[in-house]
Copies of this chain bind each other. A is one copy, B any other.
């Protein structure tokens, strides 16, 4: 796995994540071989095996949930003809500034029409949906694709969190009614919770975004935010009620049961796995490096044989046997039989975030024992080797539950009720999220949000939809009667 890092040089990782998060993030990407920023094109980074294998596991979990909820996979071209990209007016405004354009080919060739690298695929997919959807019998049509998308406008890039090319799944659904759209939005939010929180251990708060912060061309955007170690929030999956806007722009119509031709209703949902990976390592990592959840770690268990001289063969044999048995039981296991010292190996695989380490030496073998080390708490215990499978199964679950609990503890006392620009700023400076009564999240409220942004650096994340909140009093900024409660946070 590790290639050059198996060479005997120090691998002790030690950076204060909480107080020095940007350094921590950059260094762990480099040392754990997650992303290589030396590729030479701004915002485009190769993903070496350790991150790609983890993201593949994350994709698999997400795809299993989507398929279980009756979405079918499909795949559209990477390029979108300019005439399609520019069919929906608000969408043009939102996405055209982000586009990479292709016009030249080979040595001096020119395409008749410019092609955009997809920044998102509504304008690729919906012209085909207009051909595929014909009658109520075709609905609901729930489909998704797993692909890269490309956005040129991203200026300040960072691996995983802000890349010009990123990896995601985009789900595009068509329904007969607006009610079904609303139910799909709920389903998507539950999918987010099941995948991001229950499987990856990342707690989120869910907001309906303001009208000035919604998906270009849609009616409403619902998004999950998580909290990063530097106190800023990061948007994770968002799902969009597109109403019938895109159906009208792309002519997605169907014959209903009364034999009338009517426009369809649509949703789209875009979990960006590379970004969620960035959040996952940031939320769970500690000063010693990565801490990967058991469910998604490329190697869930690393076996370290410990021996000197004459014991070598016996210990190695014993280790390989454990490897074989654990693999047969379905675990992802690696044995590190390089010639580095056990101490070097401990540090290396701790930095890489492998959830469980099995240490075996001559004495363990004699006693039919093995030592289990868990990365999350850095604790070890000696167990009977016959219980290995069961213990690893249980420990894996325990580790994942513990990582989530630790992450959730950061949400305690996170929200501070503010009643002025000054108290908002105080809250944000402490790494907290401010909650305020607010005039409106319709477009008329934008000046108030702009003023908050200018004076505190905080962004208006919208209104909570996972809890029911009623405002009292007046808008903290303009003094008009408050109609909503909104949350203010600094963000990525």
Q: Quick check: is A314 within 8 A (CB to CB) of the other chain?
A: no
Question: Would you list the 8 A-B pairs with minimal beta carbon distance, nearest first?
Answer: A44-B77, A49-B72, A105-B152, A101-B104, A97-B106, A47-B75, A46-B76, A3-B138
Q: Which of A34-42, A343-351, A425-433, A443-451 contacts B (4 or more CB under 8 A)?
A: A34-42
Given contacts A44-B77, A74-B49, contact A153 B117 (CB under 8 A): no
Q: Which residue of B lies closest to A112 (CB)?
A: B42
Contacts of A36 in B (CB 8 A): 128, 131-132
In the bound complex, CA of A96 to CA of B41 (Å): 19
The residues in A between 46 and 77 inclusive whose CB is less than 8 angstroms from any CB of B are 46-49, 52-53, 56, 72-77
A42 to chain B, nearest CB (A): 9
In the complex, the answer to whether B53 meets A4 with C-beta atoms within 8 Å is no
In the complex, the answer to whether A128 meets B46 with C-beta atoms within 8 Å is yes
Contacts of A4 in B (CB 8 A): 132-135, 137-138
Q: Quick check: is A416 within 8 A (CB to CB) of the other chain?
A: no
Contacts of A127 in B (CB 8 A): 39-40
Q: Which residue of B lies closest to A80 (CB)?
A: B41
Q: Quick check: is A103 within 8 A (CB to CB) of the other chain?
A: yes
Contacts of A52 in B (CB 8 A): 73-75
Q: Which residue of B lies closest to A125 (CB)?
A: B46
Q: Which one, B49, B96, B138, contacts A107 given CB within 8 A? A: B96
Contacts of A131 in B (CB 8 A): 36, 38
In the complex, the answer to whether A152 meets B73 with C-beta atoms within 8 Å is no
Q: Quick check: is A109 within 8 A (CB to CB) of the other chain?
A: yes
In the bound complex, CA of A78 to CA of B72 (Å): 25
Q: Quick check: is A143 within 8 A (CB to CB) of the other chain?
A: yes
Q: Which one, B47, B48, B73, B134, contacts A56 given CB within 8 A? A: B73
Contacts of A153 in B (CB 8 A): 105-106
A–B pairs, 13, beta carbons within 8 Å: A3-B132, A39-B76, A41-B77, A46-B77, A46-B128, A48-B132, A49-B72, A49-B73, A49-B143, A97-B106, A98-B106, A101-B103, A106-B152
In the complex, the answer to whether A53 meets B78 with C-beta atoms within 8 Å is no
Q: Which one, B99, B113, B115, B167, contacts A105 given CB within 8 A? A: B99
Complex interface bits, A98-124 against B, C-beta within 8 A gives 1, otherwise 0: 111111111101000111010000001
Q: Quick check: is A168 within 8 A (CB to CB) of the other chain?
A: no
In the bound complex, CA of A128 to CA of B45 (Å): 11
Q: Quick check: is A287 within 8 A (CB to CB) of the other chain?
A: no
In the bound complex, CA of A114 to CA of B105 (Å): 11
Given contacts A75-B46, A101-B104, A106-B98, contact A81 B3 (CB under 8 A): no
In the bound complex, CA of A135 to CA of B133 (Å): 57
In the complex, the answer to whether B141 meets A3 with C-beta atoms within 8 Å is yes
In the bound complex, CA of A200 to CA of B114 (Å): 38
Complex interface bits, A1-13 against B, C-beta within 8 A gives 1, otherwise 0: 1011011000000
A4-B134, A52-B73, A101-B102 are known; give 8 further A-B pairs, CB within 8 A.
A4-B137, A40-B127, A44-B78, A79-B100, A79-B165, A100-B102, A104-B114, A105-B152
A63 to chain B, nearest CB (A): 9
Contacts of A96 in B (CB 8 A): 106-107
Q: Quick check: is A294 within 8 A (CB to CB) of the other chain?
A: no
Contacts of A72 in B (CB 8 A): 1, 49, 53
Q: Quick check: is A177 within 8 A (CB to CB) of the other chain?
A: no
A135 to chain B, nearest CB (A): 7
Q: Quick check: is A150 within 8 A (CB to CB) of the other chain?
A: yes
Q: Quick check: is A191 within 8 A (CB to CB) of the other chain?
A: no
A481 to chain B, nearest CB (A): 40
In the complex, the answer to whether A107 meets B97 with C-beta atoms within 8 Å is yes
In the bound complex, CA of A141 to CA of B125 (Å): 39
In the bound complex, CA of A138 to CA of B48 (Å): 14
Complex interface bits, A420-438 against B, C-beta within 8 A gives 1, otherwise 0: 0000000000000000000
Q: Quick check: is A148 within 8 A (CB to CB) of the other chain?
A: yes
Contacts of A45 in B (CB 8 A): 77
In the bound complex, CA of A390 to CA of B162 (Å): 51
Q: Which residue of B lies closest to A106 (CB)?
A: B97
In the complex, the answer to whether A7 meets B137 with C-beta atoms within 8 Å is yes
Contacts of A6 in B (CB 8 A): 137
Q: Quick check: is A84 within 8 A (CB to CB) of the other chain?
A: yes
Contacts of A133 in B (CB 8 A): 4
Q: Which one, B99, B128, B134, B165, contacts A106 given CB within 8 A? A: B99
Contacts of A148 in B (CB 8 A): 78
